[in-house]
Amino acid sequence: MSAQNSPPVWRHMLALLYDTFLIIPLIMAANALLMAIYVNLFMNFDTTHEILLPAGAVQVVVILCIALFYWIFWRRGGQTLGMQAWRIKLVNNEGGQLTTPQIALRLVGALLSGLILGILWKYLDRDGYYWHDRLSKTHLILLPAKA
């Protein structure tokens, strides 16, 4: 595959921004649920003290929300809502739907590569793939505009 059907980085970043506006309310709702569980289990309904969730628990909730968001959308059709808006689709290197291991590798790879390293890798790669594309044997394609 070549980079000629690959979406430009600016389009990918805008899709990520769009998805961020969808993920933030999910994180807020999940943390509210975590707070309710935490208060009921550990605080004995004492509201005279400031209630702080353990930082590690909040971080786990954030990572799980982000991972589940992408997992569900990529598994169902290779596109999040942001990707649909910007005509980007995630496919495996054969052009088909992603498998569960590919999604897991892509999520872990994206987390490890970080935003800056991932963007730099795209410019150094002969096919214009991100590092996590190579790891998971997947890549992004730019869909044609609808007539």
Q: What is the pTM of this model?
A: 0.86
- Average pLDDT of 21-36? 95
Other Cβ atoms within 10 Å of 90 Cβ, number: 23
Task: Name the maximum alpha-carbon separation found in the chain.
Answer: 61
Give 88-93's long-range contacts (Cβ < 8 A, gap of 24+). Answer: 88/7, 88/11, 88/12, 88/15, 88/140, 88/141, 88/142, 88/143, 89/140, 89/141, 89/143, 90/138, 90/139, 90/140, 90/141, 91/138, 91/139, 91/141, 92/137, 92/138, 93/1, 93/137, 93/138, 93/139
Q: For residue 72, which phi and psi values (nearest 5 degrees)?
A: -65, -50
Q: What is the mean pLDDT of the chain?
A: 89
Please state, for a pLDDT cut of 90, what percent of the chain lies above it.
61
Specify the higher pLDDT residue, 40 or 31: 31
Q: What pLDDT digit, counting tens, does each position of 38-63 carry?
A: 887 776 666 666 777 888 999 999 99
pLDDT of residue 37: 87
- Average pLDDT of 26-47? 83
- Average pLDDT of 53-78? 94
Helix (H, G, I), strand (E, B) or coil at 83: helix
* Structure tokens given for 116: 């800056």
